[in-house]
C-alpha cells in the first residue's frame, strides 16, 4: 500500500504467503553498516509519549538533509500516515541515514489503526481530525509550495483510493 502510494519503501517479499520480510536498508551490499539515527535519538524525544509534531519532524529533515526532495519524502510519509490512520507514528519510526549526506530512510513500521486513537506525532498540533489545511500549513512552513503540497496530498489519496476499490 505504501509503495503504491508513492512512498520510498525497502525491498520486501512475502514468504510462504504469511511471512513478511524486509531487506535491511542500513547495510551496504557488502554488509557494511550505514549510520542510521532515529528522530527520537536526534531530538531526545520520548517515543513512548505523544509529543512530537510533524512540524518539528519536517524542520529537522530540512535542517539535517538540506534537500527539499528529502523534505517532500517526509511530507509524503506524513500524508500517508494521516490518510491511512497510522497512529503508531512515534519518534522511533522516523529515521535518517548518513552516507556522506543525510537522507530520510525508506518508510517502515507502517500500521493502519482502527478506532479513534490519536496520532503519536501530531499534525499542526492536532492528534486527530486532521485536515488537508493542517497538512498544507506545515508544508508551507518548510518551503513546500501550497500547490505542490496539494499535488502530493491528492496523489497519495488517489493512489490509496485505487487500492481500496
CA angle 50, 58, 52 (to 5 degrees): 10
Domain extent at residue 52: 12-164
Q: Which residue has the cell 497510522?
A: 86
Sheet holding 35-38, edge to edge: 35-38, 95-98, 102-104
| Structural domain contains residue 154 | yes
Distance CA(46)–CA(145), nearest Å, equals 31
The pLDDT tens digits for 72-89 are 999 999 999 999 999 999
| Structural domain contains residue 3 | no
This prediction has a pTM of 0.93
The confidence band for 161, taking pLDDT boundaries of 50, 70 and 90, is very high
The dihedral region occupied by 66, where left means phi > 0, alpha psi between -120 and 50, and beta the remainder, is left
Mean pLDDT of the 32-48 span: 91
The pLDDT tens digits for 104-114 are 999 999 988 87
| Structural domain contains residue 57 | yes
Map residue 136 onto helix, strand or coil.
helix
| Structural domain contains residue 60 | yes
Mean pLDDT of the 123-143 span: 96
Domains identified in the chain, total number: 1
The pLDDT tens digits for 16-35 are 999 999 999 999 999 999 99
Distance CA(95)–CA(99), nearest Å, equals 13
- With a cut of 90, say whether residue 40 has pLDDT above it: yes
Q: Which residue has the cell 500500521?
A: 111
Mean pLDDT of the 114-140 span: 93
Rg of the Cα atoms in the chain: 16
Q: What percent of the chain has pLDDT over 70?
A: 99
Distance CA(31)–CA(28), nearest Å, equals 5
Residues whose CB is less than 8 angstroms from the CB of residue 107 and which lie 6 or more positions away in sequence, other chains included = 2, 7, 8, 9, 77, 80
pLDDT score at 116: 64
- Paired with 38 in beta bridges are 95
| Structural domain contains residue 44 | yes
pLDDT score at 45: 85
| Structural domain contains residue 4 | no
| Structural domain contains residue 157 | yes
| Structural domain contains residue 76 | yes
Mean pLDDT of the 61-82 span: 98
Amino acid at each position: 500500500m505504501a509503495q503504491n502510494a508513492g512512498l520510498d519503501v525497502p525491498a520486501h517479499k512475502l514468504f510462504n504467503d504469511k511471512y513478511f520480510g524486509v531487506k535491511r536498508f542500513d547495510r551496504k551490499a557488502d554488509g557494511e553498516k550505514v549510520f542510521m539515527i532515529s528522530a527520537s535519538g536526534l531530538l531526545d524525544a520520548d517515543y513512548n509519549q505523544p509529543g512530537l509534531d510533524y512540524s518539528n519532524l519536517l524542520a529537522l529533515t530540512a535542517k539535517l538533509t538540506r534537500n527539499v526532495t528529502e523534505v517532500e519524502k517526509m511530507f509524503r510519509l506524513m500524508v500517508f500516515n494521516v490518510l491511512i490512520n497510522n497512529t503508531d507514528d512515534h519518534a522511533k519510526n522516523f529515521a535518517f541515514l548518513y552516507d556522506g549526506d543525510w537522507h530520510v530512510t525508506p518508510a517502515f513500521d507502517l500500521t493502519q489503526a482502527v478506532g479513534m486513537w490519536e496520532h503519536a506525532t501530531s499534525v499542526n498540533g492536532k492528534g486527530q481530525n486532521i485536515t488537508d489545511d493542517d497538512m498544507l500549513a506545515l508544508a508551507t512552513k518548510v518551503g513546500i509550495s501550497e500547490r505542490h503540497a496539494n499535488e502530493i496530498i491528492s496523489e497519495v489519496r488517489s493512489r490509496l483510493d485505487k487500492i481500496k476499490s
